[in-house]
Homo-oligomer: A and B are copies of this chain.
Amino acid sequence: MRYPSSNKIYHKPISHANRGMNLEALINETNKYYIENNLVYITKKPTPIGIVSVSDDEKKMITKAFFKEPSTLDYSGVYKGRYIEFDAKETNSTTSFPISNILGHQIDYIKKLINHQAIVFLIIKIKNEFYVIDGKYLINYINTSSKKSIPYKTIIKNGYKIDSDGLIKVNYLPIIDKLIGGLHEKV
């Protein structure tokens, strides 16, 4: 299948981003808990922007800039020495996760990271449940399936369900342990 092409200038906010906001807030809270308890160091990346002009005075304020389309994933960090990167994706569909939610550059980027043995995944919110989809599974699915979305049943079967544990809203860390335990395959 083909994935959407990308533009250099990104008009933010767009609907995809909004759709992810609630999940993002939950993940941000989770990461805060993880970091405070020294379990992992994972943070949201700075928004990529292009700076057009900066003020001439000594304050050096940015007076014009534009949002760039993100070509990486939203979160990255380190866990037990391993490089971790993931994205949070939310869908209102109750039947499947549309692959168009992932931007074109992001798919190439996921492949690159996997080839350097990074732990890469998506956290998908669907039907008020949270799943980890391993990046290797995702790339394999895109390469071999003609479908433009991943059915809910497939997500249940091949994803990892994330538990909510009171203070830890989206407790994805135990699943990273499982992914680290897996074999590293080239994609």
Question: Number of A interface residues, CB 8 Å?
Answer: 39
CA distance A80 to B184 in the complex (A): 11
Q: Mark A2-38, 1 if CB is under 8 A from B, else 0.
A: 0000000001110000000000000000000000001
CA distance A151 to B25 in the complex (A): 46
The answer to whether B60 touches A13 (Cβ under 8 A) is yes
The answer to whether B60 touches A62 (Cβ under 8 A) is no
Q: How many copies does the complex hold?
A: 2
CA distance A102 to B150 in the complex (A): 47
A157 at the interface (CB under 8 A from B): no
Interface residues of A in 79-99 (CB under 8 A from B): 79-84
A107 at the interface (CB under 8 A from B): no
The answer to whether B46 touches A80 (Cβ under 8 A) is no
CA distance A41 to B72 in the complex (A): 12
CA distance A60 to B7 in the complex (A): 15
Residue of B38, B65, B118 near A115 (CB, 8 A) is B38
Could you name 30 residue pairs across A and B whose Cβ atoms are closer than 8 Å?
A11-B59, A11-B60, A40-B116, A41-B112, A41-B116, A41-B118, A45-B45, A45-B46, A46-B47, A46-B49, A59-B66, A61-B64, A61-B66, A62-B62, A62-B67, A63-B63, A63-B64, A77-B116, A78-B83, A78-B116, A78-B117, A78-B118, A79-B116, A80-B116, A80-B117, A81-B117, A81-B118, A81-B184, A82-B82, A83-B83
- Tell me the A residues contacting B by CB distance below 8 Å: 11-13, 38, 40-41, 45-49, 51, 58-67, 76-84, 112-113, 115-119, 184
